[in-house]
Structure 1
Amino acid sequence: MQKDGEITEKDYDRLKFVTERARRSYVAYAQQLQDLYGDIECDDLDLWKSLHPECKGRKTFGIGSSDPDFLVTGKISSRICESNDDARHSQELQKVQAELEKEREARQKIESCFEQFQEEREKERADQAAWQKAMEEKLKNIGNK
């Protein structure tokens, strides 16, 4: 919870920047992060680089010659928003698992109906065989009289 007088990283007008370019870069980056990821706190190096195309192949503005992944995550050359990617993949996985469960239930229902059909068919065949045998006996009895 924020205390009175405290500023956050989203208080763009109250934050102090070394240069106007640094302020513009930060504001643009923060707004793009919000648009892409909502309230999930993460960094996205590819997004940062896309906002600074003039630095392609050179030191990235705001990072210099340091390993940018290390500066953002503390891990050397790692993915930046793994937690966000993991959350997105987890949601997709849950959707697929729910669809798979529906497919399984539908398959079980079809298999159950098919088994019931086969049982009814076997019963009909047995009834038909019994009727045929009874008719043959009657015909045999008629022929013997």
Structure 2
Amino acid sequence: MMGVVIFFIGFLLTISYPDIVIFSGITYWGSFIYISAGSLSVAAQNKLNLCLVKASLVMNAISAITAGLTIHLLFILLIISVGGPRLYPEGLRITVILLVFTIPQFIISICISVFACKATCDRDSTVVNVLLN
């Protein structure tokens, strides 16, 4: 759901003020990565298949990298706009709203990646020897 919101907010930012974030296209392809990572996570939850869990792990790792890159680009845009009157007030508000949605996406992607890694990597079964008297 956050991917859809980020897509539409990125569209509003494109209309209001084209800058480095828009030229990179990260609001568009990043939102599609978020949507696909969320879809794979839901599919892995519904069907407990090892292949789906691993796919969810990979896509959420890519989603976390994409969200981190988006956060960096948005902070660069905010620093540039604070230094001079380059960004319109509407564009500044949209950039802050985009940051508000991207930071939780970053945290959620990391958390899901950690849980999926724990589910797939810790598959060793420990043998416990019990001695009976």
Instruction: Name the TM-score, length of structure 1 as normaliser.
Output: 0.36
Structure of higher CA gyration radius = 1
Higher relative contact order (CA 8 A, sep 6+): 2
The normalised TM-score by structure 2 is: 0.38
Of Structure 1 and Structure 2, which has the larger fraction of its residues in helix?
A: 2
